[in-house]
Amino acid sequence: MTTMTPLLNYLAKDIARSQRYIPPVLAYLLVAAVVFGGDPGPALPAYSIVAVMIYPVGAWLAVTCANAEDPMLRTVTVVTAGGWLRVGAAVTGLACTIVVVLTVLGSVIPAIVHGYSVTEIATGASAQLITGLAGVVLGVLCGRPVVRKIGISALAVIVVVLVTFAAGKVPPVGAVIGLLSQSDHGIAASQHPGWVLGGDLAIVLVLLVGATWLAAEIGRRRD
């Protein structure tokens, strides 16, 4: 923990200084403002829209965190931190932290404005967290050291995002979006939404660990 904290602080300051996090954050906030600015209707279909948006935003943030340093400086950071896995874990953790902050903002503020119930807030927040973290998984696998060129990274993210949405209710992203979008007056159509969201969250967490390890292993082999 004492080793990871300085590394996280260093990466966070580097991202903040570069201001590269601003475009994806603004994109998410703009969509959320449009959705919830007027009369959004039932809570869960409205939350499903921002859950759709935070998926590519999570990927964008992860690629930004992974590509914040130039390759030579990242090599120095890897040596100083003690290996690719530590740096990869810090990159993933930083991107996940931003996603969590956006999820809280995009769940609580609309609930305060429109008076959503605790159940609706929890469901909307869980859905955004799942799709946002799934985006981080995608970004980790599309950023350095896996994909070295930013143009190819952007193209890969766009293609995978489009394929994900075209695939329908494939978990974790498709299942969550389907659960929220097919609601009736704010009540999920599924009889057990908690099980669906819990299962998808478990899948995403496993994918996060696997993607972080795989990216670190690729970086180690390329050194």
List, for residues 12-68, the tens digit of each pLDDT value. 999 999 999 999 999 999 999 999 998 888 899 999 999 999 999 999 999 999 999
By residue count, the chain amounts to: 223
pLDDT at 185 over 80: no
- The predicted pLDDT at position 194 comes to 74
Which three-class secondary structure state does DSSP give residue 38? Answer: coil
Which phi and psi angles does 187 have, rounded to 5°? -105, 125
What pLDDT score does 143 carry?
Answer: 96
According to the model, what pLDDT value does residue 190 have? 46
Q: What is the mean pLDDT of residues 89-116?
A: 96
Residue 214 tokens read as 């795989």
pTM score > 0.85 for this model?
A: yes
Element (H, E) at 188: strand 187-188
Tens digit of pLDDT for each residue in 128-183?
999 999 999 999 999 999 999 999 999 999 999 999 999 988 889 999 998 888 77
